[in-house]
Structure 1
Amino acid sequence: MDNQQLLTMVTQMTLEEKVAQLMQLAAPFFEGAEGEGQITGPMKSMGVTEEMVRNSGSVLGYAGAEGTIAVQKAHLKKNRLGIPLLFMADIVHGFKTIFPIPLAIGCSWDLPLAERSAEIAAREAAVSGVHVTYAPMVDLVRDARWGRVMESTGEDPYLNSELARAFVRGFQGQNLREDVQRVAACVKHFAAYGLSEGGRDYNTVDLSEWQLREYYLPAYRAALDEGCEMVMTSFNTVDGVPASGNTRLMRKLLREEWGFDGVLISDWGAVKELIPHGVAEDEAEAAYKAIQAGVDIEMMTSCYVHHLPRLVREGRVEEEIIDEAVLRILQLKERLGLFERPHRGADPEAEKEIVFCAEHRAAARELAEKSCVLLKNERGVLPLARGQRVALVGPFAQSGDILGPWSWTGSRKDAVRLDTAMKAAAAEPGDISVAEGSGIEAMTEAQWAEAARAAADVDVIVLALGESSEMSGEAGSRADITLPAAQLELLRRMKALGKPVAVVLFNGRPLDLRGVYDTADAVLEAWFPGSEGGAAIAALLYGDANPSGRLSMSFPAAVGQIPVYYNHFSTGRPLGAPDAQERYVSHYLDLPNEPLLPFGFGLSYTTFIYGKPQLSGKIMTPDRPLELSVVLTNAGPAEGEETVQLYIRDWVGDTVRPVKELKAFAKVRLAAGESSEVRFTVTEQMLRYTHQNLEFASDAGQFSVFVGPNSRDAEELRFRLEKGPVTSGIRLQGASLGNNQHEQMGSEMR
């Protein structure tokens, strides 16, 4: 259908049919559905009639080729105009083949693999009848207490933006109509949900428009620039107004300023939640505010269907607004080819061949290997030598709970467990003795006795510790992000046996590692590594793979530092300033300012040596970039992959500038003894930022460029940006924005 035909269809619809298109319901409401969809909130009586369901536009959380085909067939028989349903679901880090959680994928810094993971997730979901995924989540996060940290890719706007683009490319491909094994992506949560106060889910967000534009909007914009079809509203407030009723954010910025003309959907129940937020008196006002803000689809509440028809007839809501929302939904259905092929990619036979196939599992294993981060490795504990006797102890030694939240179609039963993988990797299965040692949050003396026996006659102890999947994810906020006391006690007792101890951590957030990092000889951060997690970790432990992950989020020295992040400001009284008094600077009396482990950090089984970096000049102009080069040498015994990171500091700005900002990175694989020159082009565009007047521009002046293995251990060079004559020391500001992804970000909201 062309757009004119879709417009004609809208005119043929009754007002009630139009409004029903704006309602999304879970699968149990629909004829032909077997079982239930994935429910992320309580089911309540919604007062939805059979007629409303017959005209509804989309289904939440339902998958399976036979089931989606049955629901679609039943629906099309009853829908007067034959408008097909959209099937949407949370395919966040895999469908049946579960990849590492997004925070772990961020630690891979591997854009092609991230894209591949999304492509595989899309192919499995599409052949199972899903049309839209609620991903990627690109919320910038600086507070590890927030449970949804696991769903983000970290604390840096540049890395998040690059990964957002990769995920959208993977999910959507080049042509959704032709490639029925891709799905439409829905970027979330718009906007700034990662700044929830206290790290508490669903909580208040309060930030300036400058901060919003400078740090929190770029990754959403990157996803949209890549062609992302949908946007989901966030649960939080922005400028005191809940996002789902925030006309300034959704209608003015997203639609008018950025030009987004795709579908905007609320998060679960978020339209009705305008009432407890305190900005709507009742469901009618909630419906009014949400539709005025530009929310096209109301997820799992019924404010629209119960109240919008009356509001239109009373003249309070223009029917044209309803028509625009319906048209956007129909246009998405058309771009997916659903009018011609209402079952699209759903295919029961192909589903059996594609879903969880060997090729997909191999990709999941590769990404899991590259997502793990070696945090510590002393006494040469890792890699393990074949022939060593190893005690594998801990609540995750034999656990299938390694998939993480948002793996609703994954199977713990099918997950490769660590004990199985280590026995397969060892010289002899009998080299591995296994014991639980403790539960997640409790330890019995019987469990300890079993662990002590397992460790009695071994060379090395591997402790598999961490959080259960329920301890992170949505509604998984924690005030205390240390390991539970039982596991810390298990580690203390194991260490007291006098044998080398390596800890493997399974978790959904950066942890407060007191009692772990200072006790264990080696620490491997595995996150929730997905379906092939056990195999990937065993390969890393035995040196069949070399750890290459680098942190995409800082690990605090203690929870009291949070939020702690690398790209902070120096303050007017920075710690370490030469003329500052010791006490009266910005610092803690009882903790360092710096995190335990910085952004970009990660160890390897080999040693990378950086040569002296070289800059092609000391003066940059807008049309004359600089070249930075550095020779990287693998001086260790094994092939390995290094992530060379480039940071920039603007020393004097119109607003305060961070002490460092990631601007580029390169992944370099070198054989033992091999060297390679790594080159970066440093451009004026890298120096732009949001000014007081919200213009996105660079300033003439002094800059530092840093290159190194992480945000802390990087070597500095200096240069100046010149834009023309300088008079009386006044720095000239305001570069032409030109064509770049941030061009519209500097415009003021109207």
Structure 2
Amino acid sequence: MDIKKLINEMTLEEKASLCSGKNLWETKEIERLGIPSITFANGPYGLSKINCDSYDPVPATCFPTPTALAATWDVNLAYSVGKAIGEECLAENVNILFGPAVNIQRSPLSGRNFQYFSEDPVLSGEMGAAFINGIQSEGIGACVKYYIGNNQESHRQNINNIIDEQTLNEIYLSNFERVIKNSNPFAVMVAYNKINGIPCTENDYLLIDILRNRWNFDGLVLSDLYAVNSIINSLQAGLDLEFPNSPNNTKQIIEAVLSGTLDSSILDNAIEDILNTISKVIKPVKECECNIYDKEKHNDLAREVAEDSIVLLKNKRNLLPLKKDRLKNRKLAIIGEYAKETRCQGDGNSNVIPIMFENAYDEIVKLVGSSVKIYYEKGYNTSKNSEDDDNTLLADARKTARTADIVILFVGTPQYYDKEYADNVNLDLPTDQVKLIKEIGKVQKNLIVVLSNGSPVTISSWAKYADSILETWLPGQASGGALAEILFGIANPSGKLPTTFPIQLSDTPTYLDYIDSENNLQYKEGVFVGYRYYDKKNMNVEFPFGFGLSYTTFKYSSLTLDKDILTDNDTLEIKLKVKNTGKYFGKEIVQLYIKNTDSNILRPEKELKAFTKVSLFPDEEKEVSFLIDTKDFSHYDINTNSWVIESGPYEILIGKSSRDLPLSKNIYVQSPYLPKTNYTRDTLAQDFLINPKTKEIVEPLLSSAAQSITSDTNAQEKLINYFKNIPIGRFTTLSNGTFTEKMLNDLLYSANEA
């Protein structure tokens, strides 16, 4: 496809028409020039294609949702899932997948959290990049979304998120930057919301200054559905394509170019991006190429991801894993409707119609065979239309639990908790399920609780009744077999939390969020999102970020750094050893955090910078290594509008979670950066003493002022210490006129120039 030639041959009307979709899922074709239409589909955790003619959904593999995938902390699995979805896109003639969504889980109440990876930008960015690389390995384009600040569903389409520049860069742009640079997605979808008063679709700072110029993104920039307010402003700000179709906006583009309101070169740039993307994803049909994929293989992958995503939160008395031989001829009660009606995904436009499906109850029965007596009780209603009486269900469950030897109780959030378009109002399980847990816990000492939810839930009101707790998230179509294997020790749980579980909703950093009458929302917590907030406040949490138990145990040792001093543009190699000291094969997620021990600005206590997953047999020991660079020690400086590194001591922390870091080493970082102070009349005198260029002026000034008051040298010293805490501008009065306004202005000029 000769793109330059095509652009020259296109009429203004054809160019304008190409800037909006043909419908909800396709771009327009221009038959005269042989420009084909391409097809998009949703897909954060599986292909969600709608046939444009019939509007019927196409069945596909329903993988665990992104939060569950992130709980594996396994970039190789993320790549494999992306690749598998890419294969299904090929089979269904989809050219670009709307996914992944890498937004930060800022609040546990967000209804769309199940579509996002984590509260942390490093984990989100690494998992997102691997997922995209997997998709695009099949020649299918990935469209990363939602750029940026789509952190809540309430007022999603008109909210103005007020985010300070440091927070914007360190938290909400950082994950997108990692994705853009590490995977080069074919497209970026722009969010509905405003950032600091400007709609994302019209925000040239976000779309041109950062995305294009700073990150060198050269792909397609398109809008979320119906997100464009002004197509002219959007094109000028760097948007290429509006979805869906908009004949009125096409007319506006034509009129704007003809009137000179819109420079034709801007339109041509957008057309070039669109045509470049079409040329990347359109491939000639090869003879004998069969658009099929191995459904069983994809189901096996979905099961593997579900298995690795399960987090063991509690295991009192080592109740798990269960042993079939010990349960022979004993009673096992399975209680809870979710045992048979698995909550495999959240609700919304990205829903996947599973190709096949399994539930935990059937898979447990299949695994244990006839040697174990299994009893089932529904326990509660998940549907408001059910005719089953809640009290009767509770009584029957309690009776069965009393006579059983072990109870596996399935609970979780209802479907309306985890969905697009609405946020949750609390973090609690439904009251009937909490009551069920407590009642069963009173009559059964061997209680295993299995959770299904897309976001953190509070467990403090009922956790003491459960001996073991397993977090399974929204685990996709093949989770039944995965859970059965975890329960009976065929597999060892290796998942770790990609988000913090607070004790109560009021503990969360966004608890006092308030959307005002003009739809403004201030991100008052700043960079203190998730574990950064809880750690800075030294606040107790139910389960910390990165937490997860195992049936085996791991020992960390022999941490070494390849240098003691890190200079600008250097790399640092970090090595340690991890040993499986237990009796089961297991996988451990090794997490690396960096702590700035002597910063001049308010910083998080520590931040995740790298991670890896290592597999170990009993008594096996492996060396783990990380290679990080000086960027990992940097922060965004609002005075220079750039990433900078403070010189000083830092601490390398290695361990199992943000609260369990058994290994640490200190390193000193040398950087040419010097913090820049904006000196004004209100700057304290002591700040001028730090600056060598102004110290020689201010020091005599303080002494002179003190001497003018008293000749007692001890009293003068006390006065000087007092004067250090006075704004420099007041010395025009304190000096009785010897320090003039001109001298003050010269001092400020000299200080700021220095």
TM score, norm. by length of structure 1 = 0.79
Shift, 1:267, TM fit: 0.5
Counterpart in the other structure of 1:431 = 373
1:513/1:557 contact within 8 Å kept: yes
Quote the Cα distance in structure 1 between the aligned partners of 2:115 and 2:13: 37
Shift, 1:167, TM fit: 1.2
Q: Summarize the alignment of residues 30-45 of structure 1 with structure 2, pairs less than 5 Å apart.
A: none
2:17 to 17, 20, 23: 20
Counterpart in the other structure of 1:380 = 318
2:23/2:245 contact within 8 Å kept: no
Counterpart in the other structure of 2:494 = 548
Quote the Cα distance in structure 1 between the aligned partners of 2:215 and 2:668: 32
Quote the Cα distance in structure 1 between the aligned partners of 2:558 and 2:312: 26
Counterpart in the other structure of 1:265 = 222
Quote the Cα distance in structure 2 between the aligned partners of 1:299 and 1:234: 12
2:652/2:665 contact within 8 Å kept: yes
Cα distance change on mapping 1:673 and 1:570 into 2, 3 Å: closer
1:94 to 46, 52, 64: 46
- Report the residue type matching 1:149 in the other structure: N
Quote the Cα distance in structure 2 between the aligned partners of 1:731 and 1:233: 45
Quote the Cα distance in structure 2 between the aligned partners of 1:619 and 1:308: 57
Shift, 1:562, TM fit: 1.8
1:479 to 416, 425, 439: 425
1:129/1:346 contact within 8 Å kept: no
Counterpart in the other structure of 2:293 = 354
Give CA-to-partner distance per residue, 1:332-352, whole Å, 9 cap, x none: 1112235xx3xx5899x934x
Counterpart in the other structure of 2:133 = 169
Quote the Cα distance in structure 2 between the aligned partners of 1:723 and 1:495: 58
Cα distance change on mapping 1:559 and 1:318 into 2, 3 Å: same
Say whether 1:111 aligns with 2:56: no
Shift, 1:694, TM fit: 2.4
Structure 1 range deviating more: 250-259 or 237-246? 250-259
Q: Summarize the alignment of residues 303-318 of structure 1 with structure 2, pairs less than 5 Å apart.
A: 303-318=248-263
- Report the residue type matching 1:119 in the other structure: K
Shift, 1:421, TM fit: 0.8
2:116 to 128, 152, 156: 152
Counterpart in the other structure of 1:566 = 531
TM score, norm. by length of structure 2 = 0.79
Unaligned runs of 5+ in 1: 28-36, 38-55, 59-74, 174-180, 275-285, 576-592, 733-750
1:171/1:184 contact within 8 Å kept: yes
Quote the Cα distance in structure 2 between the aligned partners of 1:201 and 1:687: 36
Counterpart in the other structure of 2:143 = 186
2:303/2:482 contact within 8 Å kept: yes
Quote the Cα distance in structure 1 between the aligned partners of 2:673 and 2:241: 54
- Report the residue type matching 1:699 in the other structure: E
* Secondary structure class of the residue paired with 1:518: helix
Say whether 1:85 aligns with 2:41: no
Quote the Cα distance in structure 2 between the aligned partners of 1:309 and 1:296: 15
Shift, 1:299, TM fit: 1.1
Shift, 1:25, TM fit: 4.2
Counterpart in the other structure of 1:524 = 470
Say whether 1:218 aligns with 2:174: yes
- Report the residue type matching 2:133 in the other structure: R
Cα distance change on mapping 1:614 and 1:534 into 2, 3 Å: same
* Secondary structure class of the residue paired with 2:595: strand
Quote the Cα distance in structure 2 between the aligned partners of 1:538 and 1:256: 50
Counterpart in the other structure of 2:27 = 57
Give CA-to-partner distance per residue, 1:300-353, whole Å, 9 cap, x none: 252522422222233322233222212211111112235xx3xx5899x934x4
Quote the Cα distance in structure 1 between the aligned partners of 2:36 and 2:673: 63
Q: Summarize the alignment of residues 619-630 of structure 1 with structure 2, pairs less than 5 Å apart.
A: 619-622=565-568, 627-630=573-576
Q: Summarize the alignment of residues 704-723 of structure 1 with structure 2, pairs less than 5 Å apart.
A: 704-715=651-662, 716-723=664-671
Quote the Cα distance in structure 1 between the aligned partners of 2:221 and 2:463: 44
Shift, 1:110, TM fit: 0.5
Quote the Cα distance in structure 1 between the aligned partners of 2:174 and 2:380: 43
Cα distance change on mapping 1:237 and 1:429 into 2, 3 Å: farther
Shift, 1:684, TM fit: 3.1
Counterpart in the other structure of 1:587 = none
* Secondary structure class of the residue paired with 2:626: strand
2:281 to 336, 340, 343: 336
Cα distance change on mapping 1:617 and 1:185 into 2, 3 Å: closer
Shift, 1:682, TM fit: 5.2
Give CA-to-partner distance per residue, 1:201-237, whole Å, 9 cap, x none: 8643210122111121122122222221111101211
Shift, 1:683, TM fit: 4.0
Give CA-to-partner distance per residue, 1:165-201, whole Å, 9 cap, x none: 201110111xxxxxxx43101111111222x498978
Shift, 1:718, TM fit: 2.1
Give CA-to-partner distance per residue, 1:450-472, whole Å, 9 cap, x none: 42354343211111111234421
Quote the Cα distance in structure 1 between the aligned partners of 2:9 and 2:418: 47
Cα distance change on mapping 1:257 and 1:441 into 2, 3 Å: same
2:358/2:480 contact within 8 Å kept: yes
1:290 to 215, 222, 234: 234
Counterpart in the other structure of 1:393 = 335
Quote the Cα distance in structure 2 between the aligned partners of 1:9 and 1:625: 46
* Secondary structure class of the residue paired with 1:84: coil
Cα distance change on mapping 1:569 and 1:428 into 2, 3 Å: closer
Quote the Cα distance in structure 2 between the aligned partners of 1:557 and 1:145: 14
RMSD: 3.0
Shift, 1:730, TM fit: 8.1
* Secondary structure class of the residue paired with 2:188: strand
Counterpart in the other structure of 1:604 = 550
Structure 1 range deviating more: 640-649 or 462-471? 462-471
Say whether 1:242 aligns with 2:199: yes
Shift, 1:491, TM fit: 1.1
- Report the residue type matching 2:317 in the other structure: R
Quote the Cα distance in structure 2 between the aligned partners of 1:253 and 1:214: 13
Give CA-to-partner distance per residue, 1:38-68, whole Å, 9 cap, x none: xxxxxxxxxxxxxxxxxx725xxxxxxxxxx
Give CA-to-partner distance per residue, 1:458-501, whole Å, 9 cap, x none: 21111111123442132141021211111111111211223321
- Report the residue type matching 2:249 in the other structure: Y
1:465/1:487 contact within 8 Å kept: yes
Quote the Cα distance in structure 2 between the aligned partners of 1:604 and 1:452: 30
- Report the residue type matching 2:398 in the other structure: A
Quote the Cα distance in structure 2 between the aligned partners of 1:324 and 1:364: 41
Quote the Cα distance in structure 2 between the aligned partners of 1:504 and 1:227: 38
Unaligned runs of 5+ in 2: 48-59, 510-528, 676-687, 693-754
Shift, 1:399, TM fit: 0.6
* Structure with the greater alpha carbon radius of gyration: 2
Among all aligned residue pairs of Structure 1 and Structure 2, give the percentage whose two residues are the same amino acid: 30
Shift, 1:697, TM fit: 2.7
Structure 1 range deviating more: 494-503 or 201-210? 201-210
- Report the residue type matching 1:99 in the other structure: F
Quote the Cα distance in structure 2 between the aligned partners of 1:725 and 1:406: 47
Quote the Cα distance in structure 2 between the aligned partners of 1:200 and 1:192: 10
Counterpart in the other structure of 1:363 = 301
Quote the Cα distance in structure 2 between the aligned partners of 1:345 and 1:138: 34
Shift, 1:731, TM fit: 12
